[in-house]
């Protein structure tokens, strides 16, 4: 590897000294399939002399075998990694490349440009300081260019290099360059990009990559490499208020208790007053350390802090400068980028990870989605893969946060599917919809336990789930009769009946089914709060929503009863004639036929209706309730 | 999001009606509505009053007049302080990853292969959990064909740092006489890949730290920092979770395990510079010394013990050699070198013309083979 610096050969110690102080720039490249993105990255690696001779030999051989450049080197082959994409001739995922010059180390997120991979671009951009947007000079500003620029601005990148590529194919025309630049600036005015640096290049030939091009004397700006080496990186938010999400409590022995984390903004000194959010407990910093004590620490460093007082603080809390602590709320307006094949349904509950806090969240309102090509706002009831929407979200408890525009780490979150555990979305907090300080649970003097005790029982919810016609209502009715005969106080929520009243505005799409169950879960909880034994008989086809209803109740007071009957059996019973209609296509979204039923994985009770009569099933359930002590009350 | 929209939202959030604000500051409701919509600015003399009523901080109400300011002395010190260097940023990222795993895993382990990348990873772990020790054991999968110098160094480091090391050897493979001379690719598979899977399964580790770097080869460049393996330890490059910001989703499905790569974003040069800067001990085999070698399969192989099959007609000769990577001695080519100090090694690396992994026999197959190996469970 013939390196540029003579110091390597002559004075390696001086060279190392110089390289110790290099800074780091992370950027992404975005372009369409044929804009020459891989070629550009390959060229940057090649021109910064980061390619070893054996790699170069392999590259030359590969270029002849499968390259697209005849006898010339195909730089794209340097970076097209996985076998699958080599076969397709396109890049399919985010890849990270590294190169280094005298002044900087660079990490490049190489992200694909085609539409179905918005997810990958957002991922690559989330850690980038700058974006290089490629334009094919022959084709100008395309739909894709607009999409890439919108995504770049959405994720909060303020600096863009507009690399107008393939200038060699337009005779290095100044007019072409000016026209494209004009088109782009007009479009970009509506985005939040602060600085656009246009550079005319040819990645293939090497014009204005590391050496100023002799072919374009009309261009007086920097080469691409010169710009990347000197562009000022935002100074890591050092002067912003101090924030450190606590990752881990370090307690090696009784004498030391430290709080470890990555400083996301600001600076912290021993002696500084701090506030731990959301609890707002205060203390003072005793020591700031990595493996030894530091005079101070600043944004971007992973440190451990010990405090002067023994206060309650654990993973998920955020240490803040006492004068400017993070806000706390449990409802937000956010932008959500959906990244999964299973669509986002308002009302469904997901896990939300923000910093080191993990909570349960659901989208309460999908205000609109954004067409990434035209920036138009469109009405929507759900978000599909790669769609972006403005959403209000609600959490099960308040979290400490800052607006994404002010602090990426304190305002950027992911959503995780509770069943598949996949990361399904990225989100950005704009602002809180209400302040947590204003929410008070009205304290009640008469508790649910005492209400239930008065009735000689314990409050609980019996949740019957199963296909239409499985016998849920029949069994639930029998159970209620028996409980009534035993002098217990019950109530029944039946799917069909609730749809005539409370939920009459809802249909049978997935989105509406989620909302249907959410409302019923809340009603069941209110009735259980009144001390009742609540019997709920709903198809409730999705695991997520049954889980949500379960989470509303204290542990041990939710009984999922799976009334199990094979589809063939219920279809032959077909008491309401619904399956026939569904088979004829007269009913849309019918569970078991045209809409899925997800059977419970661990129900408290599993009733096999092919073996057990409804009477026997009811007896079994009542016996179970009795065995668990629910038919005797504690008087509180 | 413009400042105006933000202000509107803040007023709405305060829950205080415009009428009440107007009454409290003695202005008309129309005036207040203009402040809220951003058409007019709140007069400077009223800002603190509005702050009192609504709870909206003054630097939000009139950012042009009030700024959030740090004490001057601190601000001056900060301006003078240098930016974090690339090594400081890499170190901070790695420590953050190590801590995330420990916070979220049930039973983590660190794969320790004794080489320079493992040395850096271990050094970072010591920093991440100081003043305590890393709260997980180290695991070394020993093929029984490692350089004896590696095993000596390993034992000495563990004793010096007071750490727990689990050594795992595929005893069945040893009993069957599996060796690198006769069994080629099957050797690596049985003594390394299968042994690793067996060790993880046996101990029930759910997350294993590995010292892989994205610059090593192409398929690594796309691998996530938290990389999931199926119950059969297979990697599915198409089913990787997106990793945004500093957020890692460590939730596993039944039977899944995670390989976590804290030094993903380091390059070979970064590793050497960090070793130099932090004075991290490494195996002496990295430094040039006179060693007995023979020529074998086109590589220069050190005769580390009597098991070496010396090709007929050859005698071991003493040459000044060193190793750029370390593994099983019969599969690891030496390079002739004079580099006996760290700066000399770095100098040689920067001036040299062959890349790091060329010394390793495993990569010599078709260029996509590493991806295949990984799908099958090679680390």
Phi, psi of B29 (to 5 degrees): -65, -35
**Does one domain contain both A190 and A254?**
no
Q: Which residue spans within A91-187 are E strands per DSSP?
A: 95-100, 104-110, 130-136, 159-165
Task: Note the pLDDT tens digit of each residue in B163-200.
Answer: 999 999 999 989 999 888 888 778 888 898 889 999 99
CATH number of the structural domain spanning residue A363: 2.40.30.10
For A335-369, the DSSP string reads EEEE-SSSPB-TT-EEEEEETTEEEEEEEEEEEEE
**Tokens coding B52:** 């009192």
pLDDT tens by residue, A294-318: 888 989 999 999 998 888 899 999 9
Q: Distance between CA B130 and CA A303 in Å, rounded?
A: 10
Give the active site residues of A.
540
Residue A30 banded pLDDT, cuts 50, 70, 90: confident
* B window 233-262, beta carbon within 8 A of A: 237-238, 240-247, 249, 251-253
Contact predicate A563/A473, CB 8 Å: no
Distances (CA, A) of A255 to A247, A285, A307, B132, B278: 20, 16, 12, 11, 28
Q: What are the tokens at A620? A: 């079994």
pLDDT of residue A443: 54
> Is B100 near chain A, with CB under 8 Å?
yes
- Let me know if residue A138 belongs to a domain: yes
Beta-carbon contacts of B4 under 8 Å, excluding residues fewer than 6 positions away, are B37, B38
Average of per-residue pLDDT across A399-423 = 93
With 50 as the cut, is the pLDDT of residue A351 above it?
A: yes
- Residues A559 and A511 reside in one and the same domain: yes
- pLDDT given for residue A178 in this prediction: 93
> Domain ends where: A203, A230, A257?
A230
Both tokens of residue B184? 């080629």
Which residues of A are less than 8 Å from B353 in CB distance? 1, 52-54
Q: Is residue A235 part of a domain?
A: no
For residue B187, the distance in angstroms to the closest alpha carbon of chain A comes to 25
Indicate which of B86, B228, B263 best probes the interface with A, i.e. most A CBs within 10 Å of its own CB.
B86
pLDDT tens track for B134-155: 999 999 999 999 999 999 999 9
Please indicate, yes or no, whether residues A260 and A168 belong to a single structural domain of this protein: no
Cβ contacts (< 8 Å) between A122 and chain B: which residues? Answer: 242, 244
Rounded to the nearest integer, the mean pLDDT of chain A is 85
- Sorted by sequence, the CB contacts under 8 Å of residue A474 that are 6+ apart come out as A614
Alpha carbon distance A291, A288 (integer Å): 10
For the ranges A302-306, A395-399, B77-81, the maximum mean pLDDT occurs at: A302-306
> A248 or A80: whose pLDDT is higher?
A248
pLDDT at A502: 86
**pLDDT tens, A445-480?**
677 788 888 888 888 999 999 998 888 889 999 999
Q: What angle do CA A259, A262, A265 make, to 5 degrees?
A: 115
User: Is B265 at the interface with chain A, CB within 8 A?
Assistant: yes
More confident residue, B107 or A18: B107
In a domain, A236, yes or no: no
With 80 as the cut, is the pLDDT of residue A83 above it? Answer: no
Domains in chain B: ranges and CATH: 3-61 (1.10.260.40), 86-260 (3.40.50.620), 279-365 (no CATH)
Mean pLDDT for the stretch of residues A578-597 = 84
A298 within 8 A of B81, measured Cβ to Cβ? yes
A488 and A509: one domain? yes
User: If pLDDT is split at 50, 70 and 90, which confidence band does A260 have?
Assistant: very high
Confidence bin at A84 (pLDDT 50/70/90)? very low
| Residue A426, pLDDT score | 95
Contacts of A431 in chain B (CB under 8 A): 1, 6, 9-10, 13
Total domains in chain A come to: 4
What ipTM does this complex have? Answer: 0.75
- The end-to-end CA distance of chain A, in Å, is 80
pLDDT band at B355 (very low <50, low <70, confident <90, very high): low
Q: Do A291 and A361 reside in the same domain of the chain?
A: no
* pLDDT tens, position by position, A86-141: 454 444 577 788 888 888 889 988 876 565 578 888 888 999 999 999 999 999 99
Compare CB distances from B85 to A20, A127, A236 and report the shortest one's residue: A20
Residue A232: alpha-carbon gap to chain centroid: 29
Nearest residue in B to A416, CA atom: B249
Residue B363 confidence (pLDDT) above 80: no
Are A225 and A264 in a shared domain? no
- How far, in Å, CA of A379 to CA of A370, rounded? 9
pLDDT of residue A478: 92
Residue B277 touches chain A, beta carbons under 8 Å: yes
Letter string b/e over residues A244-254, b meaning 16 or more CB atoms within 10 A of that residue's CB: bbbbbebeeee
The per-residue pLDDT for B218 is: 67
Q: Mind telling me how many Å the CA of A609 is from chain B's nearest CA?
A: 30
- Contact check, Cβ <8 Å, B276/A262: no
- Which percentage of chain A shows pLDDT scores above 70? 88
What is the reported pLDDT for A23?
85
Domain boundary among A397, A417, A438: A438
A1 occurs within a structural domain: no
Confidence grade of residue A253 (pLDDT, cut at 50, 70, 90): confident
Q: How many Cβ atoms sit within 10 Å of the Cβ of residue B138? A: 25
Confidence label for A72 from pLDDT (cuts 50, 70 and 90): low
Contact assessment for residue B130 and residue A342, using Cβ atoms and an 8 Å cutoff: no
All residues of chain A having their beta carbon less than 8 Å from the beta carbon of residue B84 are 23-24, 236, 298, 300-301
A104-110 vs A95-100, strand pairing mode: antiparallel
Predicted local distance difference test score (pLDDT) of residue B61: 82
pLDDT at B67: 61
So what's the pLDDT on residue B3? 42
Q: Is residue A531 part of a domain?
A: yes
The predicted pLDDT at position B373 comes to 52
On whether both A78 and A215 belong to a single domain, the answer is yes
What CATH code is carried by the domain that includes residue A535?
Answer: 3.40.50.300
CA distance A12 to chain B (A): 6
- All residues of chain A having their beta carbon less than 8 Å from the beta carbon of residue B214 are 95-96, 98
Decide if A350 contacts A383 (C-beta within 8 A): no
Q: Are residues A41 and A107 in the same domain?
A: yes
Mean pLDDT across chain B, nearest whole number? 84
CB contact under 8 A, B242 and A123: yes
Looking at residue B362, its pLDDT comes to 44
Dihedral of alpha carbons B2, B4, B6, B12, sign: negative
Same domain? A82 vs A14 = yes
User: Does residue A621 surpass a pLDDT of 70?
Assistant: yes
Same domain for A301 and A250: yes
* Last residue of one domain, picked from the residues A200, A230, A260: A230
- Do A463 and A506 lie in one domain? The reply is yes
The answer to whether residue A372 is domain-embedded is: yes
Q: Give a yes or no: residue A416 inside a domain.
A: yes
Residue A35 pLDDT > 80, yes or no? no
Angle (nearest 5°) at CA B139 between B137 and B142: 155
For residue A375, what are the β-bridge partners? none
Query: Taking a C-beta distance cutoff of 8 angstroms, is the pair A107, B263 a contact?
Result: no
pLDDT band at A191 (very low <50, low <70, confident <90, very high): confident
A295 found inside a domain: yes
Domain that holds residue A370: 327-438
Report which secondary-structure segment, H or E, holds A197. strand A195-200
Mutate to test the interface with B, among A4, A6, A22, A24 (most CBs of B within 10 A): A24
| Structure-block tokens of residue A248 | 């881990």
* Start-to-end CA span in chain B (Å): 45
Q: Do residues A196 and A342 both lie within one domain?
A: no
Residue A360 Cα, gap to closest chain B Cα (Å): 14
């Amino acid at each position: 590897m013939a390196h540029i610096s003579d110091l390597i050969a002559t004075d390696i110690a001086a060279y190392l000294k110089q390289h110790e102080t290099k800074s780091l720039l992370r950027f992404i490249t975005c372009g369409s399939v044929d804009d020459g993105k891989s070629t550009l990255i390959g060229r940057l690696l090649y021109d910064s002399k980061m390619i070893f001779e054996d790699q170069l030999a392999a590259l030359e051989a590969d270029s002849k075998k499968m390259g697209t450049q005849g006898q010339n080197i195909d730089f794209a082959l340097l970076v097209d990694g996985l076998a699958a994409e080599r076969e397709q001739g396109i890049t399919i995922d985010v890849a990270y490349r590294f190169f280094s010059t005298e002044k900087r180390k660079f990490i490049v997120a190489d992200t694909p440009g085609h539409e179905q991979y918005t997810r990958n671009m957002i991922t690559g951009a989330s850690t980038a300081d700058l974006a290089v947007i490629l334009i094919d000079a022959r084709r100008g500003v395309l739909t894709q260019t607009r999409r890439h620029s919108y995504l770049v601005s959405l994720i909060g990148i303020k600096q863009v290099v507009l690399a107008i590529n393939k200038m060699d194919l337009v005779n290095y025309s100044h007019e072409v360059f000016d026209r494209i630049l004009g088109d782009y600036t007009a479009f970009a005015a509506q985005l939040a990009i602060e600085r656009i640096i246009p550079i005319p290049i040819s990645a293939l030939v090497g014009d204005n990559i590391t050496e100023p091009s002799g072919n374009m004397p009309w261009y007086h700006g920097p080469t691409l490499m010169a710009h990347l080496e000197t562009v000022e990186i935002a100074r890591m938010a050092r002067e912003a208020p101090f924030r450190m999400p606590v990752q881990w409590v370090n307690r090696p022995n009784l004498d030391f208790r430290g709080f470890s984390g990555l400083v996301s903004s600001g600076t912290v000194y021993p002696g500084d007053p701090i506030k731990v959010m959301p609890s707002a407990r205060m203390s003072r910093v005793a020591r700031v350390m990595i493996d030894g004590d530091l005079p101070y620490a600043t944004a971007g460093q992973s440190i451990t802090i010990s405090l002067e007082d023994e206060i309650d603080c654990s993973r998920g809390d955020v240490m803040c400068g006492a004068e400017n602590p993070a806000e706390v709320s449990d409802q937000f307006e956010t932008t959500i980028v959906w990244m999964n094949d299973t669509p986002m349904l308002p009302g469904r509950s997901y896990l939300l990870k923000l910093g080191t806090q993990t909570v349960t969240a659901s989208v309460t309102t999908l205000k609109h989605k954004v067409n990434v090509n035209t920036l138009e706002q469109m009405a929507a009831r759900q978000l599909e893969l790669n769609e972006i929407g403005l959403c209000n979200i609600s959490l099960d408890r308040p979290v400490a946060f800052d607006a994404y525009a002010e602090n990426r780490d304190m305002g950027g979150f992911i959503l995780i599917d509770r069943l598949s555990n996949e990361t399904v979305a990225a989100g950005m907090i704009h602002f809180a919809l209400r302040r947590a300080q204003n929410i008070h649970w009205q304290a009640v003097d008469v508790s649910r336990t005492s209400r239930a005790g008065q009735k000689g029982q314990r409050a609980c919810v019996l949740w019957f789930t199963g296909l239409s016609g499985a016998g849920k209502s029949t069994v639930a009715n029998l159970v209620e009769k028996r409980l009534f005969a035993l002098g217990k106080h019950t109530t029944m929520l039946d799917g069909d009946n609730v749809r005539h009243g409370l939920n009459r505005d809802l249909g049978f799409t997935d989105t509406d089914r989620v909302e249907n169950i959410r409302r019923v879960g809340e009603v069941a909880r209110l009735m259980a709060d009144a001390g009742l034994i609540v019997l709920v008989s709903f198809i409730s086809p999705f695991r997520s929503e049954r889980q949500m209803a379960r989470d509303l109740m204290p542990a041990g007071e939710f009984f999922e009863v799976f009334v199990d009957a094979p589809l063939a059996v219920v279809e032959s019973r077909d008491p309401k004639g619904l399956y026939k209609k569904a088979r004829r296509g007269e009913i849309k979204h019918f569970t078991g036929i045209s809409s899925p039923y997800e059977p419970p994985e661990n129900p408290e009770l599993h009733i096999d209706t092919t073996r057990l009569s409804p009477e026997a099933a009811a007896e079994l359930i009542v016996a179970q309730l009795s065995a668990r002590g629910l038919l005797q009350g504690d008087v509180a | 999001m413009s400042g105006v929209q933000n202000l509107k939202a803040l007023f709405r959030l305060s829950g205080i009606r415009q009428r009440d604000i107007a009454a409290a500051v003695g202005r008309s409701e129309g005036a207040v509505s203009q402040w809220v919509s951003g058409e007019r600015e709140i007069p400077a003399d009223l800002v603190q009053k509005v702050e009192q009523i609504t709870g909206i901080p003054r630097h939000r109400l009139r950012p042009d007049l009030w700024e959030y300011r740090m004490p001057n002395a601190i601000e001056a010190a900060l301006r003078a302080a240098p930016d974090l260097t690339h090594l400081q940023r890499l170190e901070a990222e790695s420590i953050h990853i190590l801590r995330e795993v420990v916070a979220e895993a049930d039973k983590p382990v660190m794969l320790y292969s004794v080489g320079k990348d493992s040395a850096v990873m271990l050094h970072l772990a010591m920093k991440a959990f100081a003043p305590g020790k890393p709260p997980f054991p180290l695991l070394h999968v020993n093929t029984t064909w490692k350089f004896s110098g590696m095993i000596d160094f390993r034992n000495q480091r563990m004793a010096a740092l007071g750490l727990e090391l689990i050594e795992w050897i595929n005893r069945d493979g040893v009993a069957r006489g599996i060796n690198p001379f006769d069994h080629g690719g099957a050797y690596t598979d049985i003594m390394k890949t299968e042994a690793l899977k067996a060790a993880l399964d046996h101990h029930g580790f759910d997350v294993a730290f590995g010292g892989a770097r994205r610059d090593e080869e192409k398929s690594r460049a796309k691998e996530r920092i938290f990389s999931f393996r199926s119950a059969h330890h297979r990697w599915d490059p198409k089913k990787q979770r997106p990793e945004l910001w500093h957020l890692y989703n460590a939730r596993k499905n039944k039977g899944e395990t995670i390989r976590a790569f804290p030094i993903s974003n380091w390059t070979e040069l970064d590793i050497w510079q960090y070793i130099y800067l932090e004075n991290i001990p490494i195996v002496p085999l990295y430094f040039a010394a006179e060693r007995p070698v023979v020529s074998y399969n086109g590589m220069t192989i050190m005769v580390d013990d009597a098991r070496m099959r010396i090709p007929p007609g050859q005698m071991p000769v003493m040459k000044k050699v060193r190793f750029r990577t370390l593994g099983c001695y019969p599969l690891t080519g030496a390079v002739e070198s004079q580099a006996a100090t760290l700066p000399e090694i770095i100098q040689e690396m920067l001036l040299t013309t062959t890349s790091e992994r060329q010394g390793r026999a495993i990569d010599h197959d078709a260029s996509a083979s590493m991806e295949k190996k990984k799908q099958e469970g090679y680390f």
